[in-house]
Amino acid sequence: MFQFDSLSAFIAMGGHGPYIWLSYLATALVLLWLVATPLLRTNRLMSALKRQQTLQHRESGKYQDISPGPRTEERSP
Amino acid sequence: MSAPPILECRDIAFERDYTPIFSGLSFTLWRGQILQVKGANGSGKTTLLRILATSLTASQGSMFWHGNDLEGHRQEYRFDMLYLGHQPGVKAALTPRENLAWLRPLHPKAGHDTNQALAAVGLAGMEDVPCHTLSAGQLRRVALARLYLSDASLWILDEPFTAIDRDGVGKLEILLQDHAQRGGAVVITTHQHPQLDNLCELDMVRYGVS
Amino acid sequence: MARTRPLLPEWFHRLGSPKGFYQMTSSWMPWLAVTAAVLLLVGTVWGLGFAPQDAKQGNSFRIIYIHVPAAFLALAGYYVMAAAGAIGLVWKMKLAHMVMKAAAPLGAALTLISLVTGSLWGKPTWGTYWVWDARITSMLVLFFLYLGVIALHYAYTNGEAASKASAVLALVGTANIPIIYKSVDWWYTLHQPATIKLTQAPSMHPDMFYPLLVMIAGFYCFYALVLLLNTRSEILHRERRTRWVLDMAEGGRS
Amino acid sequence: MASPDAAPPELATATAFRAVLTRDLTLAFRHRGDMANPLIFFVMVATLVPLGVTPESGQLALLAPGMIWVMALLASLLSAETLFLADHRDGSLEQLALSPQPLWLLVLAKIIVHWLVTGLPLTLLSPLLGVMLSLPQAGFGPLVVSLLLGTAALSMIGAIGAALTVAIPRGGLLLSLIVMPLYMPVLIFGASAVQLAVDGISPSGALAILGALLAFSCLISPFATAGALRVSLHG
């Protein structure tokens, strides 16, 4: 048995409507955010790994070694 | 060798923040041996020493002290082991005598006289000078003085020769030699070439993760 | 050297391996998501639309259907987090540390929900958004405890040390929660003995009580769902160099 | 050379405890200037209240019990960070952790000295603040007794936070964040003990619970701090 005689009464909630709907909205947003963060994080990681995989096949030995060669040993070891 | 080795490590591995540093490291340390851990910077020398000193726990592997699993004998092990790390572990505001006064009771063993120990490391006459007036090398000598005071059979020394002058290094080498001959064992890391006989080496590069 | 582990059943260790846990829980996720959604929807519609009005508070009491479950789970969530931390410390299980890291923000969010809904409920009941009521003050302190654990976790650069340190803090916090709650109650009765307690459910007519049970069950399922989601995402993040994760990345998300 | 089958080594734990105690006392004495900082902070914050709220003594008297306690809490919170920081930097903390002596006992010695150097002076100075904030006469006795018990409990709890944040650069603010919720019960019973006395009601109930809190933290804190130190050294 529906407690309110009309939709507008349901929304007004006997004058307390704004507080009730605001708190339900806030809760819904937080719950959605809680579900969304891990899913987004996994997606970002997966696409990064996929890109990294394809990149690895092409990129290898990209940088030329500029460290000084072994010095000829003048003094005895 | 009838008696079990002083220290035996089997298949030690360590990873920091989920990145492996070294793995599969095994060795045995017998009485009278001095083990030098060699390896480039960042190869895990200090990490290994801190694991041996039970300051760090290895991710895998097990360690045995006199044949017993170290897990059950931590307190006896620490009673019989002395670890000197990179930092001297000496309070700058106190004098060498006061520093040794609080460091000695941590390893209460038949100890020699503090003055003799400080004289042996070349700090005679500076026993009551605040340590912050001493040089870095002298600060390390205060820590090294503990070697003369302790009867621990296993010494783990991380870069003991740094900031020590020539004759100090000579004296320290003799001390390590005597300790080994008396049936003790030493694990050290150093980039210098210590003149010590029956020195065995462990190169970290063999256990590094490619 | 690995600590000699106390005797534990084999499945506990198999559960302990992150990969095993990930694959085992993959089949649960859809069911958990559906049940949580259905329970929450049914509970909300029932509570908002069909539950009778409260004699004194009128319709504003309908906020109880999200305030009480959130407050209840916020506290239970702290114990879940501390238990996971303790298991991680004692049995050195990486997975337990991951569960703890997942539980912390979840618990903090639920505490925040209960604070916000409590304050919005307070406005029609007491005329102001914030009243230093015993229950709400304890909830605020619980929120600070959560923030402390999260802040400590992020302060460490080394992941393992971060988990161990925050596990110790969570355990110390657990030992203090009963003390904090009792001392806040004592403090509250000392200063303001008269006013009604907000979340003392007014004489609950059965029709009001059933939706509350549905909502609590819904929040429980939701908590398990998000905890698993966070833990699984943490597993993938930490095992991103391993073969099985790379294969999964290439083979499209499973 | 000892080996495991030899008789368990005679550890002389008591001498180690005394050694760490005297070491920290001499260190504190060498840095006498630092001991004054929490006290100066304590008195300075007390002057903020009349400036910020009201100089009128009638109203100040209402605020005094709670405010003095809040200021004592903040002063002891500020000084909690110094408990392990210096030892961690020069390596002596690692030496304490690697000694065969039980770490919780050595930590207990450090906490006791920390209380003697910060908590006790705060307690002895608090009557001065009582006068400055026109605390009613009945409140002075309970104020000193509650601070005596309270600052000891605060030092104990603060040690856990200090141990958890010792390895974190700029860990001071984080220390306050994680320790403040644990301080609240002590503040509640400490401040209300003074408030009850001012209102003419016997404060013995609140003081008894404050003593119980001190006993509880003495039981928990050394072990939690030792555990936290080992975690920080691992980092």
A23 vs C58: CB contact, 8 Å cut-off? no
CA pair distance B11, C16, nearest whole angstrom: 22
Residue of B nearest to C157 (CA): B17
| Interface mutation target, options A27, A35, A39, A43, chain C, most CBs of C under 10 Å | A27
Tokens of D42: 């304590």
* pLDDT average, residue stretch B21-29: 90
**pLDDT score recorded for residue B104:** 84
Dihedral pair phi/psi, residue C4, rounded to 5°: -65, 120
**pLDDT score recorded for residue D111:** 96
B17 vs C238: CB contact, 8 Å cut-off? no
> Exposed, middle or buried: residue A37 (CB in 10 Å: 0-12, 13-18, 19+)?
middle
**pLDDT score recorded for residue D21:** 95
Domain ranges (residues) in chain C: 64-244
**pLDDT score recorded for residue C225:** 96
Helices (H) and strands (E) in chain D, counts: 10, 0
* Of the candidates B200, B197, B106, the residue with the CA atom closest to the CA atom of residue B150: B106
**pLDDT score recorded for residue C205:** 75
CA angle, residues D187, D193, D194, in degrees to nearest 5: 95
**pLDDT score recorded for residue C5:** 52
- Render pLDDT for C98-121 as a digit per residue (tens, 0 to 9): 999 999 999 999 999 999 999 998
Nearest to A31 among C67, C222, C240 (CB): C222
Per-residue pLDDT of chain C (254 residues; tens, 9 = 90+): 444 556 666 666 666 788 888 988 899 999 999 999 999 999 999 888 888 877 777 788 888 899 999 999 999 999 999 999 999 999 888 899 999 999 999 999 999 999 999 999 888 888 888 988 888 899 999 999 999 999 999 999 888 889 999 999 999 999 999 999 999 989 888 887 555 555 555 566 777 888 899 999 999 999 999 999 999 999 999 888 888 888 888 875 44
* DSSP labels, chain C: -PPPPPP--HHHHHHHSHHHHHHHHHTHHHHHHHHHHHHHHHHHHIIIIISPPBTTTBGGGGGHHHHHHHHHHHHHHHHHHHHHHHHHHHH--HHHHHHHHHHHHHHHHHHHHHHHHHHHHHHHHHSSS----HHHHHHHHHHHHHHHHHHHHHH-SSHHHHHHHHHHHHHHHHHHHHHHHHHHHHHHHHH--SSPPTTS--S--HHHHHHHHHHHHHHHHHHHHHHHHHHHHHHHHHTTTSHHHHHHHHT---
**pLDDT score recorded for residue D7:** 47
Per-residue pLDDT of chain A (77 residues; tens, 9 = 90+): 777 788 888 888 777 888 889 999 999 999 999 999 999 999 999 999 888 877 776 666 667 777 787 766 554 44
CA angle, residues B2, B5, B6, in degrees to nearest 5: 130
Domain ranges (residues) in chain A: 17-58
Given the cut 0.95, state whether the ipTM is greater than it: no
Does C75 contact chain A (CB < 8 Å)? Answer: no
Does A53 contact chain C (CB < 8 Å)? Answer: yes
**pLDDT score recorded for residue C254:** 44
Residue type present at position B98: E
CA distances from B109 to B139, B141, D46, D168 (A): 23, 20, 52, 35
Give residue D8's pLDDT band: very low, low, confident or very high (50, 70, 90).
Answer: low
> Exposed, middle or buried: residue B19 (CB in 10 Å: 0-12, 13-18, 19+)?
exposed
CA pair distance B77, B153, nearest whole angstrom: 10
CB D161 within 8 A of CB D175: yes
Dihedral pair phi/psi, residue C95, rounded to 5°: -60, -40
Least Cα separation, residue B136 to chain D (angstroms): 12
Does B97 contact chain D (CB < 8 Å)? Answer: no
Give residue D103's pLDDT band: very low, low, confident or very high (50, 70, 90).
Answer: very high
Q: Across-strand partners of B7?
A: B29, B65
For a pLDDT cut of 70, what percent of chain D falls above it? 95
Tokens of C252: 């499209």
**pLDDT score recorded for residue D235:** 62
Nearest to A3 among C52, C67, C124 (CB): C52
Residue type present at position B99: N
Higher pLDDT, D39 or B116: D39
CA pair distance D3, D5, nearest whole angstrom: 6
CA angle, residues A43, B16, C102, in degrees to nearest 5: 40
CB D195 within 8 A of CB C139: no
CA pair distance C20, C117, nearest whole angstrom: 39
pTM: 0.89
